[in-house]
Structure 1
Amino acid sequence: MKTKRILSILALSFIVTISYAQKGKVRQAKKEYDNLAYVKTSEILLEVANNGYKSVDLLQKLANSFYFNNQMKEAAQWYGELMAMSEDMDPEYYFRYAQALKSIENYTESDKWMRKFYEADRSDLRGRAFASTVDYLSMIEEASRDFEVVNMDINTEFSDFGTTQYQNQLVFASARGGGKKYMWNEQPFLDLFSADKQEDGSYSNVTAFNDQVNTKFHESTVSFTPDDQVMYFTRNNYYNKKYKKSEDGTNRLKIFKATLEDEEWTNIESVHFNSDEYSVAHPTINLKGTKMYFASDMTGTLGKSDIFEVDINPDGTLGEPVNLGPSVNTEGHETFPFVNSEGDLFFSSNGFSGLGGLDVFVIREFEKRRELNQQLILENIGRPINSPMDDFGYYENVATEEGFFTSNRDGGKGDDDIYSFKFPECEQVVEGIVRDEETDEIIVGAKVTLLDAEGVVLNSQIISADGTYKFEKLECEKEYLIRIEAEDYETVEERFTTPKKKQDLVINPKLEKDVKGITEGTDLAQTLGIPIIYFDYDKYDIRYDAEVELQKVLAVMNQYPNMIVDIKSHTDCRGKADYNAKLSENRAQATRNYLISKGIDASRLTAKGYGESQLVNDCGCEPTNNSDCTEEQHQLNRRSEFIIVKM
């Protein structure tokens, strides 16, 4: 009964129903506690990169430092260099790069990396939100919201549907008018009616909208231009008192135009792309008055009916219709389009996965995305708008936060009823505990700041002994970030988008130390996170990746001009012991000479090779040792260490 009911109302052939530090501050890590000194690794990384020495690891850390501090222009720069060096990495970097690009309005490139992110990990919800998904039931549940829809008092036992607002009225179609009955449902033909908005927000005083527009056949689904001077509406193929049919004997639907003169709707005319052979119906006009969207089964339609757009020219004439394509249309029915003031496209479809019958879908930022040739992301708007029955004719007023739709769901008054709703109030809570990454201890005194997507500070809290923070009254479906700062720790930011339904969000950030204690005996390789200064087998040339790491040592020695460092070079066990001793000596001296060539006084550096005498694993080459080690295991022994001899 559900879809057939709408079919019978309008036409048999045409159904009528998606940084580590505070921004701008560079703290010099020169504090000393007793005999300890400190190195701020983020500053070292930037200095090294600006000197032209880069590696995948270095660029990852550097880009993250800007990303977490919401410095997206810089983050995009360094992520871009990272991707140019290597795309083979954790997909999370693709996501961060895409977000950084989007923040600088490079939408085309951002979409590229979001697609790569989705392809790299199809189980990630962010990627699945970007791409289409077959997991539609959980997605619909995710989109569903808890608010009340009200069967309006203006409904009757007849069919009432298809609303739009005009000035202080609600205009809709209804079969309540009496007169000649439509043979398919034994109800009177549809006319346009209006109801007045009352001070309490309700609608009453239903009257026929206009005698010039209403005829003895069907009229429905009207839309007005922004200046309220022109209206477009749907009517049977009845014009100038002539009732026409297609070659197969069907009376189709057409869109008509009327203009307001002296408070009367006159000059009613058929739009130029109407035809006796197909239907055109359900017009909606965008906020700027530059586009009209409608449904049709004209030539080129992908399915039973598709959504089309047509330009409204400055002189009021209409251009040529354009099918919105497979991102919107399917082999099924797409109908009842509506574009809100923000450019979101709503429409009903039975071609996409839904709860049953026609469901309402939306494509957010449709007009903007279409203009920029960006991917269109379809969303089922979920319950309570959608149901197992037909749900269509969606309309909303963003300014007044009210909306309307039509449904033939159980519990209605007639065949189709108009339902109203108020935009639901939705507040979120985000909370968590701040801990040390290494020790898992609570970081007392840490500062947690809540910011909006543009980096505007909304609130902040100082962590007390229980380690907890809590921010309340966040808006739903909005992007936020929290920034966590603490003395001697790297600043971390967590970016998140609140869901559509009210719920508590838990984010438990863990901070890593950003200052490293150094004193006599410290190995700078461990302090600075230098994995190992590698050398190729049987060689002692400074490789490029080793040069990147040596730049970190160079930066520290420049920061502490009285520091003396002992360089220790080691080999693996392969080859004769005396040869390895000589090879490691050459490597130690090569490392020392490199640092001297970069300006370090020779008196500050000692160097010695230890050959294979100090292996870090069991990969010895004597018969009693493990001789089946891999190349990677042997390479771990080909290393250099940088021991602070004197501060």
Structure 2
Amino acid sequence: MNKKNYIFICLALFLSVSLFGQQGKQKRADTLFNKFSFVKASKVYRELIENNYNKDYATRKLADCYALMRDPKNAARYYKSVVKQEKVPIEYYYKYAQSLRGIKKYEESQEWLERFKDSGGVVNTNDFSKDINFISSVFSSKQQYFLDRVRFNSKYSDFGAFEHNGKVYFASSRDEGVSVKRLYGWNEQPFLDIYVTDVNNKTNVDHTNKVIGDVNSILHDGPATITKDGKTMYFSRNNFNKNTEIKDKKGLTNMKIYRATWVDDKWTNIEDLPINGDEFSTQHAALNKDENKLYFASDRPGGYGGSDIWVVDIHSDGSLINLRNLGNVVNTENAEGFPFINNEDVLFFSSDGHTGLGLLDIFTTIKGENEKNIVDVINLGVPVNSNKDDFAFTMNPNGITGYFASNRTGGKGSDDIYAYHRVPLLNVEGVVTDAINTKPIPHAKITLFDENNQQIAYVETDEDGYYEINIDRDKDYKIVANQDKYIEDYRMFTSKNIQIELTTITANLLLNPIQNVVKLAELNTIYFDFDKHNIRKDAAIELDKIVDLMQNTYPEMVIRIESHTDSRGELTYNDRLSIDRANATYEYLISKGIDPSRITEHQGFGERRLTNGCQDGTNCEEEAHQLNRRTQFIVIKME
């Protein structure tokens, strides 16, 4: 092997390793984004931009991160770059408009809102007069949560389910099968106890499934949470310990959070925590990922009203210090409760004080740039929320499955446990590369076909040769890449039987250059009269030249037709007019004997690709407008 080849191979290996590292970094960023960890995701997207890897995609996601973190200044900064990208989804016009509104650039915001509407977007006319959460559509635009059957609900109240080491723990008032039942006067149901059953249990859960030990009392017990090592339980209980019930000045028995330890195969050593009080309730314990913070709900003095979400630090010796309220972004004048922290340290909770669909709704939170302060809350939408009470949301460590409770219509009892699974959005992505020099190919045409060979998507690669398309799961696909100077390449792939956690399928494509490819530009461009699509005599002459070229000089030539309009008239009308011009051109060539298979596409682009500066509002002569009323021909294949 000569020195030149050795250097080339080493360089190729280096580039491959580098590319693989960047791909892994992007997948990590997307995973963080899908788990609502926007601060961490934004840092990785910024690194991708700095490394110039899939820059357009990373910029879009970074802008979305800032919008979700309620940072309109930085969101507007990056959306400004995003809206300049070719083939950018039109919803980014709307996002840019709203971020401009957030920094009080109202006139510029209105301009981009109008552009969004002109491009076919639908917007509420009151959007600019109401203080709404303009990024909630990120989570509600496509359903991600789907409900699964739960077999252990009863005709009584069941809620607070969570999984731990193959078991499901939950609170229930199903105290059936005992000789004496004590009823809670509020709703005439038995008092709550904490139960446990196998995750896949399909049999009845009764009093024999209560957790073993001293946790369950004669009053309310539950819901609960357990540390990862299974040695400590935090649980809610009426103010009752050592067989003594304590009432407040009004004669009510408030709730407290107690701590129990697992000793000799049972829960014992019940401990009354210092965060409790006799004159207020403390309940709904939740631990963060590192288990050094305890979140809970309380109507203690110092809150904003109703019950609030609070947090306290847990030291290694179990002591609790630095008690604090989570603030008025989370808490309202009404009731907040049932906090839960997922593996990304994202807080979920229930509230009837934030805008929702009914009574209690389930919300998630967004942290700011410093990852310390919560800057916004987002309603999880349907089907998690309904017009009734929805609460006690938990998520398993996989970030895909979990539980919540609801008293919605159609349940088995007063409160029922609902299981869910999330189906994260799925993309196919890839890089189109020159097979000879391994350089990315910008502006390559990517066409996605379904299993019936029907086209379902069309995009172009960015400056780094990168593309991405949203796809459905459980489908077979074919993806085709072509570019004027290359032989097209395709790949078959499937989204069937893939892990639910997977959010990206990679389909890279290699294009081989072809020789003697010619773009029939100005000489062979044909033109149309204003507001017409019929073939003029001068156009027919040019078309006959193309027919001769395809029939006699290059009998294997394959072309693509692209038609355009000038800027005058409505955008949607011009789109239709350009399609009519493309159809007329196509039909003329077919009528002259050209095989339809030799014309891959005949598309209309309206006024979107003007050849000069004659856009709306510009004073141009008729000759200048004429240059835009055209059809061009692009050679895809010569031989």
Q: TM-score, normalised by structure 2?
A: 0.51
> Shift of the alpha carbon at 1:420?
1.2
Q: 1:341 to 1:387 in 2, by over 3 A?
A: same
C-alpha contact 2:392 2:404 (8 A) present in aligned 1:
yes
Question: Partner of 2:152 in structure 1?
Answer: 154
Rg larger in 1 or in 2? 1
Find 1:95's aligned residue among 76, 79, 98.
79
Q: TM-score, normalised by structure 1?
A: 0.50
The one-letter code of the counterpart of 1:252 is: N
Question: Partner of 1:263 in structure 2?
Answer: 265
Q: For the residues of structure 2 that align with 1:479 and 1:377, how far apart are their CA atoms?
A: 28
The one-letter code of the counterpart of 2:271 is: E
Q: For the residues of structure 2 that align with 1:65 and 1:186, how far apart are their CA atoms?
A: 61
Question: Partner of 1:419 in structure 2?
Answer: 418
Q: 1:333 to 1:479 in 2, by over 3 A?
A: farther
The one-letter code of the counterpart of 1:449 is: Y
| Structural mapping, 1:219-230, within 5 Å | 219-230=221-232
Tell me the alpha carbon deviations over residues 90-140 of structure 1, each in whole angstroms, 9 at most, x when there is no partner.
9864436899xxxxxxxxxxxxxx966842438599xx9xx9725699677
Larger mean CA deviation between 297-306 and 395-404 belongs to: 395-404
> Shift of the alpha carbon at 1:399?
2.6
C-alpha contact 2:426 2:502 (8 A) present in aligned 1:
no
> Shift of the alpha carbon at 1:208?
1.1
> Shift of the alpha carbon at 1:71?
6.2
The one-letter code of the counterpart of 1:343 is: D
Find 1:163's aligned residue among 161, 164, 168.
161
The one-letter code of the counterpart of 1:165 is: E
2:321 counterpart SS class:
coil
1:95 counterpart SS class:
helix
RMSD: 5.4
Question: Partner of 1:288 in structure 2?
Answer: 290
Q: For the residues of structure 2 that align with 1:261 and 1:334, how far apart are their CA atoms?
A: 34
Q: 1:478 to 1:215 in 2, by over 3 A?
A: same
2:322 counterpart SS class:
coil
C-alpha contact 1:307 1:323 (8 A) present in aligned 2:
yes
Q: For the residues of structure 2 that align with 1:298 and 1:143, how far apart are their CA atoms?
A: 39
C-alpha contact 1:408 1:417 (8 A) present in aligned 2:
yes
C-alpha contact 2:260 2:268 (8 A) present in aligned 1:
yes
2:141 counterpart SS class:
helix
Question: Partner of 1:395 in structure 2?
Answer: 394
C-alpha contact 1:447 1:461 (8 A) present in aligned 2:
no
C-alpha contact 1:94 1:117 (8 A) present in aligned 2:
no
Q: For the residues of structure 2 that align with 1:159 and 1:208, how far apart are their CA atoms?
A: 15
Gaps of 5+ in 1: 1-21, 26-63, 80-88, 100-113, 437-441, 453-458, 489-512, 514-647
2:303 counterpart SS class:
coil
Matched, 1:357 2:359: yes
C-alpha contact 1:191 1:220 (8 A) present in aligned 2:
yes
Q: For the residues of structure 2 that align with 1:65 and 1:245, how far apart are their CA atoms?
A: 60
Q: 1:320 to 1:201 in 2, by over 3 A?
A: farther
Tell me the alpha carbon deviations over residues 508-545 of structure 1, each in whole angstroms, 9 at most, x when there is no partner.
xxxxx9xxxxxxxxxxxxxxxxxxxxxxxxxxxxxxxx
Matched, 1:408 2:427: no
Tell me the alpha carbon deviations over residues 233-270 of structure 1, each in whole angstroms, 9 at most, x when there is no partner.
00111122221122222211110111122222221111
The one-letter code of the counterpart of 2:466 is: T
C-alpha contact 1:447 1:463 (8 A) present in aligned 2:
no
Q: For the residues of structure 1 that align with 2:504 and 2:333, how far apart are their CA atoms?
A: 35
C-alpha contact 1:427 1:476 (8 A) present in aligned 2:
no
Q: For the residues of structure 2 that align with 1:337 and 1:401, how far apart are their CA atoms?
A: 18
| Structural mapping, 1:128-143, within 5 Å | 133-134=132-133, 141-142=140-141
Matched, 1:462 2:481: yes
> Shift of the alpha carbon at 1:277?
1.1
1:194 counterpart SS class:
strand
> Shift of the alpha carbon at 1:289?
1.1
Find 2:251's aligned residue among 244, 249, 252.
249
Q: For the residues of structure 2 that align with 1:294 and 1:203, how far apart are their CA atoms?
A: 31
| Structural mapping, 1:21-100, within 5 Å | 70=54, 93-95=77-79
Q: 1:264 to 1:484 in 2, by over 3 A?
A: closer
The one-letter code of the counterpart of 1:411 is: G
Percent identical pairs in the alignment equals 31
Find 1:324's aligned residue among 323, 326, 330.
326
Question: Partner of 1:303 in structure 2?
Answer: 305
Q: For the residues of structure 2 that align with 1:304 and 1:180, how far apart are their CA atoms?
A: 28
2:236 counterpart SS class:
strand
| Structural mapping, 1:202-213, within 5 Å | 207-213=209-215
The one-letter code of the counterpart of 1:95 is: Y
> Shift of the alpha carbon at 1:373?
3.5
Q: 1:393 to 1:66 in 2, by over 3 A?
A: closer
Q: For the residues of structure 1 that align with 2:165 and 2:510, how far apart are their CA atoms?
A: 52
Q: 1:115 to 1:476 in 2, by over 3 A?
A: farther
1:156 counterpart SS class:
coil
C-alpha contact 2:342 2:395 (8 A) present in aligned 1:
yes
Q: 1:234 to 1:470 in 2, by over 3 A?
A: same
C-alpha contact 1:259 1:267 (8 A) present in aligned 2:
yes
1:148 counterpart SS class:
strand
Q: For the residues of structure 2 that align with 1:140 and 1:426, how far apart are their CA atoms?
A: 10
1:153 counterpart SS class:
coil
The one-letter code of the counterpart of 1:239 is: N
The one-letter code of the counterpart of 1:287 is: K
Q: For the residues of structure 1 that align with 2:418 and 2:460, how far apart are their CA atoms?
A: 52
Q: 1:201 to 1:381 in 2, by over 3 A?
A: farther
1:372 counterpart SS class:
coil
Q: 1:143 to 1:460 in 2, by over 3 A?
A: closer
Q: For the residues of structure 2 that align with 1:388 and 1:140, how far apart are their CA atoms?
A: 19
Q: 1:450 to 1:435 in 2, by over 3 A?
A: closer
Tell me the alpha carbon deviations over residues 427-460 of structure 1, each in whole angstroms, 9 at most, x when there is no partner.
3468999579xxxxx999x9953479xxxxxx99
The one-letter code of the counterpart of 2:285 is: P
Q: For the residues of structure 1 that align with 2:427 and 2:54, how far apart are their CA atoms?
A: 22
Q: For the residues of structure 1 that align with 2:364 and 2:460, how far apart are their CA atoms?
A: 44
Q: For the residues of structure 1 that align with 2:299 and 2:209, how far apart are their CA atoms?
A: 32
Question: Partner of 1:449 in structure 2?
Answer: 466
Equivalenced residue count is 395
The one-letter code of the counterpart of 1:300 is: G
Q: For the residues of structure 2 that align with 1:236 and 1:226, how far apart are their CA atoms?
A: 25
Find 2:219's aligned residue among 217, 220, 236.
217
Tell me the alpha carbon deviations over residues 134-179 of structure 1, each in whole angstroms, 9 at most, x when there is no partner.
56996774264362332x2211111111112232221111111162
Q: For the residues of structure 2 that align with 1:157 and 1:415, how far apart are their CA atoms?
A: 7
Q: For the residues of structure 1 that align with 2:49 and 2:167, how far apart are their CA atoms?
A: 54
Question: Partner of 2:547 in structure 1?
Answer: none
Q: 1:472 to 1:66 in 2, by over 3 A?
A: farther
2:234 counterpart SS class:
strand
Tell me the alpha carbon deviations over residues 370-402 of structure 1, each in whole angstroms, 9 at most, x when there is no partner.
863455332211111111111111111133842
Q: For the residues of structure 2 that align with 1:283 and 1:90, how far apart are their CA atoms?
A: 36
Q: For the residues of structure 1 that align with 2:290 and 2:74, how far apart are their CA atoms?
A: 43
Q: 1:280 to 1:477 in 2, by over 3 A?
A: farther
Question: Partner of 2:194 in structure 1?
Answer: 192
